[in-house]
Amino acid sequence: MARVELYDTTLRDGTQMEGISLSVEDKLKIAQKLDELGIHYIEGGWPGSNPKDAEFFVRAQSLRLTNAKIAAFGSTRRAGVRAEDDPNLRALLDAHTPAVTLVGKANAEHVRLVLETTREENLAMIRDSVAYMKGQGKVVFFDAEHFFDGFRDDAEYALECLRAAAEAGADCLVLCDTNGGTITSKVVEAVAAARRLGAPVGIHAHNDADLAVANSLAAVEAGATHVQGTINGYGERCGNANLVSVIPNLKLKMGIDCLSDEQLARLTEISHYVSEVANMVPNPHAPYVGASAFTHKAGLHVAAIVKAESSYQHMEPELVGNEKRILVSELAGYRNVLTKLKERGVDIPPSGEEARRLLEQVKLAESQGYQYEGAEASFELLARRSQPGYEPPFELKDFLVVVRRHSEPERGAAGEMLAEAAVKVRVEAETLHTVAEGDGPVNALDLAVRKALVEFHPTLEAVKLVDYKVRIVDSPSGTAAIVRVLIESTDGEHTWTTVGCSPNIIEASWLALSDSLEWWLVRRLGEKTE
Ligand SMILES: [Zn+2]
């Protein structure tokens, strides 16, 4: 089977999408998952463009990646400057990545209007920048911006730009459909022309004509060996080529060996994980990985559906880690959930009473708006709580939260918000009453509960909340809007995420918060004292 290199740009192009903003921590977590999925190159960002991306590259050096190499993105040198004096190229080198992606113009009109330089100088910019980076020992991808529009208007010059990059040693010439409006037959034509230069060719397609996945696959059929895209198709305007669709099409439909079977089976999980971290609602109708992708809503007898299964779905959902859903019974397919729990040290026999009770709880929680893909610590607790003899390390008996807006001038700025929480917590055999003030109601609750817990577990001081995300979800019953809160915590060594759902934002926050503390006390403290 032919090889195709997968290049993910979720962390750069994907973050251009309206509504997506990723912290450095988020980006590192996503990079780790992309590596687990088996992506070959992960573009981390544009180090010359903002300090957040520069910080990502510093911290990415301590990621332990087994499959992927990190790439830094930047443009070719400026007109009239030597490559070694160009600040942008300097920032790329400072990112210390094995690969760099240089974006350059491949469109004669853009050279004149945007770069305001000559056609010859643009070629020299490409040649010098690629050669300089090769001289520094980098894997160099040349992203030919607006290539397809350039090829349509002036094919000879567009190919001239590619040739300049190829002659300077670029490892791959990546043809970009930057405006995303190219029709598939034109992509095939241009890829074939680029292939004649003899260097490896790649594709970077945007989705403005809803053709990004089709164009990427057609480019591969025409000889491209490198595909760029993003998880869930995130990206500016209508998005980028969706790798979550590209990958199974390449592997299952075209027989191209881009990932192992085990990696492919994690596609659904990782797609959902990235949407949770990006705080985007997963699309239930997404091909391959959507919750409805293999849902059978037939008003038939179950046995008939089971018999006719293969005639109603284009492939086995398990291959991409999804599952068939038959709406009369949602319990099918939870076996992999049990396998996953086993990996985390919670062993539940799949056919016993315990499994049945857990599945009932999962169903109940889902009906209340819970989703566990991005919150494995809460899921693990759910499983632990369903086991006989589980003793929670603490229990919140009661809480009262007061929020007050002060306007007395002696309290500082007019309109200062004050929050105070009073809690009653049972720890071991004792019941404690504590009170704390905080920046907001959730912070006050957190501080009050910790006050009680720290008396018993002083090392809990190390646990810090690093991220807090709120999303409104429609309750599956359609009766009320539900708030889902995701909290990410760290003890300096590990990070974990927990979730809480309620129509009340304080209760939802509390549920996520108490899961975070409980998980740490059960798992991490347990490990340390063992
Ligand atoms: Zn792009």
**CA 251–ligand 1 middle distance (angstroms):** 24
The average pLDDT across 493-515 equals 92
Angle 51-60/24-37 helices, nearest 10 degrees? 50
Write the pLDDT tens digit of every residue in 152-186. 999 999 999 999 999 999 999 999 999 999 999 99
3-state secondary structure 91-115: HHHHCCCCEEEEEEECCHHHHHHHH
What span, in angstroms and rounded, lies between the C-alpha atoms of 365 and 24? 31
In this prediction, residue 362 carries a pLDDT of 79
**CA 200–ligand 1 middle distance (angstroms):** 19
What span, in angstroms and rounded, lies between the C-alpha atoms of 525 and 494? 12
Q: How confident is the model at residue 284 (pLDDT cuts 50, 70, 90)?
A: confident
φ/ψ region of 282 (left if φ > 0, alpha if ψ in -120 to 50, else beta) reads beta
Nearest to 273 by CA among 512, 34, 487: 34
**CA 8–ligand 1 middle distance (angstroms):** 11
**CA 433–ligand 1 middle distance (angstroms):** 56
**CA 145–ligand 1 middle distance (angstroms):** 8
Going by C-beta distance under 8 Å and a sequence separation of 6 or more, which residues neighbour residue 125?
76, 77, 78, 79, 104, 117
**CA 259–ligand 1 middle distance (angstroms):** 23
What span, in angstroms and rounded, lies between the C-alpha atoms of 437 and 56? 34
Structure tokens that stand for 55 in this block:
């910080």
Nearest to 160 by CA among 133, 187, 199, 197: 197
**CA 243–ligand 1 middle distance (angstroms):** 13
**CA 468–ligand 1 middle distance (angstroms):** 29
Write the pLDDT tens digit of every residue in 77-132. 999 999 999 999 999 999 999 999 999 999 999 998 888 899 999 999 999 999 99
**CA 147–ligand 1 middle distance (angstroms):** 12
Contact criterion met (CB below 8 Å) for 162 and 194 = yes
What span, in angstroms and rounded, lies between the C-alpha atoms of 62 and 47? 17
User: Which residues on adjacent β-strands are paired with residue 394?
Assistant: 427
**CA 235–ligand 1 middle distance (angstroms):** 8
**CA 346–ligand 1 middle distance (angstroms):** 43
The mean pLDDT of the chain is 89
Which 8-state DSSP code applies to residue 521? I
Share of the chain above pLDDT 90, in %: 66
**CA 13–ligand 1 middle distance (angstroms):** 6
Nearest to 479 by CA among 369, 393, 370: 369
**CA 467–ligand 1 middle distance (angstroms):** 28
Contact criterion met (CB below 8 Å) for 261 and 248 = no
What span, in angstroms and rounded, lies between the C-alpha atoms of 265 and 396? 39
For residues 326 and 510, the model is more confident at: 510
**CA 373–ligand 1 middle distance (angstroms):** 28
Sign of CA pseudo-dihedral 325, 327, 332, 337: positive
Nearest to 400 by CA among 420, 418, 416: 420
**CA 168–ligand 1 middle distance (angstroms):** 23
In this prediction, residue 352 carries a pLDDT of 73
The average pLDDT across 59-88 equals 96
What span, in angstroms and rounded, lies between the C-alpha atoms of 492 and 520? 12
In this prediction, residue 92 carries a pLDDT of 96
In this prediction, residue 386 carries a pLDDT of 81
**CA 111–ligand 1 middle distance (angstroms):** 18
**CA 274–ligand 1 middle distance (angstroms):** 19
Determine which of 191-195, 285-289, 334-338, 348-352 has the lowest per-residue pLDDT on average.
334-338
Structure tokens that stand for 317 in this block:
């959902």
**CA 293–ligand 1 middle distance (angstroms):** 27
**CA 125–ligand 1 middle distance (angstroms):** 20
What span, in angstroms and rounded, lies between the C-alpha atoms of 288 and 323? 10
What span, in angstroms and rounded, lies between the C-alpha atoms of 355 and 335? 9
What span, in angstroms and rounded, lies between the C-alpha atoms of 439 and 258? 49
Nearest to 204 by CA among 160, 167, 246: 246
In this prediction, residue 337 carries a pLDDT of 64
The average pLDDT across 413-438 equals 88
Instruction: Compute the residue count for the chain.
Output: 530
**CA 240–ligand 1 middle distance (angstroms):** 7
What span, in angstroms and rounded, lies between the C-alpha atoms of 522 and 519? 5
Write the pLDDT tens digit of every residue in 298-354. 444 445 555 666 667 889 999 999 987 654 334 444 555 666 677 777 777 766 777
Backbone phi and psi for residue 478, each to the nearest 5 degrees, phi listed first: 75, 10
In this prediction, residue 328 carries a pLDDT of 36
**CA 205–ligand 1 middle distance (angstroms):** 7
**CA 15–ligand 1 middle distance (angstroms):** 11
Share of the chain above pLDDT 70, in %: 89
Radius of gyration for the alpha carbons in the chain, expressed in angstroms and rounded: 26
- Element spanning 27, H or E: helix 24-37
Structure tokens that stand for 12 in this block:
């750069």
What span, in angstroms and rounded, lies between the C-alpha atoms of 62 and 40? 18
**CA 440–ligand 1 middle distance (angstroms):** 40
What span, in angstroms and rounded, lies between the C-alpha atoms of 179 and 107? 12
**CA 331–ligand 1 middle distance (angstroms):** 41
> CA triplet 482, 486, 487: central angle to 5 degrees?
140
**CA 215–ligand 1 middle distance (angstroms):** 14
> CA triplet 222, 227, 232: central angle to 5 degrees?
125
What span, in angstroms and rounded, lies between the C-alpha atoms of 350 and 339? 9
**CA 348–ligand 1 middle distance (angstroms):** 46
**CA 227–ligand 1 middle distance (angstroms):** 12
Does the pLDDT at position 190 exceed 80?
yes
**CA 490–ligand 1 middle distance (angstroms):** 34
Which 8-state DSSP code applies to residue 240? B
Q: Reduced to 3 states, what is the DSSP secondary structure of residue 473?
A: strand
**CA 6–ligand 1 middle distance (angstroms):** 15
- Element spanning 143, H or E: strand 139-145
Which 8-state DSSP code applies to residue 236? S
Q: Reduced to 3 states, what is the DSSP secondary structure of residue 65?
A: coil
Write the pLDDT tens digit of every residue in 1-45. 568 999 999 999 999 998 899 999 999 999 999 999 999 999 999
For residues 74 and 353, the model is more confident at: 74
**CA 325–ligand 1 middle distance (angstroms):** 35
Q: How confident is the model at residue 229 (pLDDT cuts 50, 70, 90)?
A: very high
C-alpha separations of 46 from 24, 43, 73, 400 in Å: 13, 9, 5, 47
What span, in angstroms and rounded, lies between the C-alpha atoms of 205 and 179? 8
For residues 201 and 294, the model is more confident at: 201
Pairing assessment for the beta strands 481-490 and 495-502 based on DSSP bridges: antiparallel
User: Which residues on adjacent β-strands are paired with residue 45?
Assistant: 72
What span, in angstroms and rounded, lies between the C-alpha atoms of 331 and 333? 6
**CA 14–ligand 1 middle distance (angstroms):** 9
**CA 337–ligand 1 middle distance (angstroms):** 36
